[in-house]
Amino acid sequence: MSLKGSCLCGAIRFEATGEPQGVSVCHCGQCRRMSGHLWSSAYVKDAELTIQGEPQWYVSSETAKRGFCPTCGSFLFWKHNAEGTTSFALGAIDGPTGLTLQKHIFTADKGDYYDIADGVEQR
């Protein structure tokens, strides 16, 4: 499997090969602030992700960092410091993904202005 994507301006392009895991929507406060609502992603092993261009990395906590385009600001990547995987934004994929949402995460932190009513597992 190969999924290709980019930021809004095209300065950062990426390709995820292998089978994406953890297809989820994050409702945490940090993802809401970075995206303006929520963030959908999947992850692959670091060796299965090729990035063209130079994302800016923001250390958002003691355990993780977030990658975004320094030109247009698109939030593209999330990386846990102790894991050999990187999450990538599903909304940045060119064309259909062929993936199915597996879970909603950090739902206790979700905004009060919407409901989650799709029947997908909530954590």
Tokens of 100: 């199915």
Find the largest Cα–Cα distance for the chain: 38
Domain assignments of the chain as residue spans, ordered by start:
2-109
pTM of the model: 0.94
What is the DSSP secondary structure assignment for residue 71, as one 8-state letter? Answer: T
3-state secondary structure of 100: coil
- Overall CATH class of domain 2-109: mainly beta
Bin 11: left if φ > 0, else alpha if -120 < ψ < 50, else beta. Answer: alpha
- 13-60 pLDDT per residue, tens: 999 998 999 999 999 999 999 999 999 999 999 999 999 999 999 999
Give dist(CA 75, CA 33) in Å, integer. 11
Query: If you count DSSP H runs as helices and E runs as strands, how many of each does the chain have, helices first?
Result: 1, 10
